[in-house]
Amino acid sequence: MDKSADTCVFTVVYPGMEAWLSDFADSLRRQDSDAFDLVIVNDGLHPESLANLQNGFNCTILEPAEGIAENRLAGFRYLLRAGYSSTVFADADDRMASNRVRISVQLLHDYDIVANDLDIMGADGEIIRMSYWSDRLPDMSTIRRADILDANIIGLGNSSVRTSILADIEIPTEIEVVDWYLYSLLLEKGHSAVFTTRTTTLYRQHDANILGAATEGMDESTFKKWIRIKAAHYNALKDVSHEYRQKHINYSELVKKIEKPGVLAGHIASRTGQSVDNPFWFEMV
């Protein structure tokens, strides 16, 4: 459909999230501002599965590209061509607080990037923990490049941007954690970012998540996967700065070391033994 608003909510849908799409659609309908379009990259769902998302919204559905990074880049290019001023990113297996679009757009008047707090909920929608990061990050905290060097707090489910800053972005195909890479680049470019507790993403924990907010109960196989994903992140950024190059060296060595007997278990014990309340994404890896 044609653009009808200056703001859009952008998401990517794919098999495995069907059970939660109606819940996501309900959270969109409950927004206290309806001045937004909905843009969806459909990566493999039957069109009938999207009926709840199309009903009641000015909705554009885009064909998928080839992979996680490519789907996001295809979406970014469409948003730029369409001329949206503000983009509110969302994950369709989550819910959005009823004021998320409005607060995000308000803050984007002063900042290039807005990241909001999380309310953690289970697969069934039951709230587990409210305002997950507010004890660590006060409202209106500036987010600087160093703040997401070791871990991430800006995901594509809890962030919004001035759409124009997505121009000329390229993301390597091997990157699985697109959001961390994207925002690392944008902060390196000098774009301004702020964290807010004035609105939240209701962040659903389930087995299909690539990442959870913490590492409790993680087995060695999963921990090893996370280490390799983090190593790939630093490898892709190694030419951006000295700090990223050093991280690349450290994690490249760690990837080799954990293949030796006992090393991975020792690494897990050292990381999980640290006392960190409400860890950021990848902080404990």
Higher pLDDT, 278 or 111: 111
Q: Is the pLDDT of residue 236 over 80?
A: yes
What is the structure's pLDDT at 29? 96
CB-CB neighbours of 211 under 10 Å: 17
Q: How far apart are CA 48 and CA 54, in angstroms?
A: 10
Taking 80 as the threshold, does the pLDDT of residue 275 lie above it? no
- CATH class of the domain whose range is 7-204: alpha beta
Beta strands in the chain (DSSP E): 7-13, 37-42, 59-62, 86-89, 95-96, 113-121, 127-129, 141-142, 159-162, 193-204
pLDDT recorded at residue 216? 59
pLDDT score of 213: 41
Q: What is the mean pLDDT of the chain?
A: 92
Residue 278 pLDDT level (bands cut at 50, 70, 90): confident
When mean pLDDT is compared across 151-165, 203-217, 223-237, the lowest value belongs to 203-217
User: Is the pLDDT at 218 greater than 80, yes or no?
Assistant: no
pLDDT at 267: 84
Q: Are 25 and 46 in contact (CB under 8 A)?
A: no
pLDDT in tens, 88-131: 999 999 999 999 999 999 999 999 999 999 999 998 899 999 99
In sequence order, the 6+-apart residues with CB closer than 8 A to the CB of 219 are none
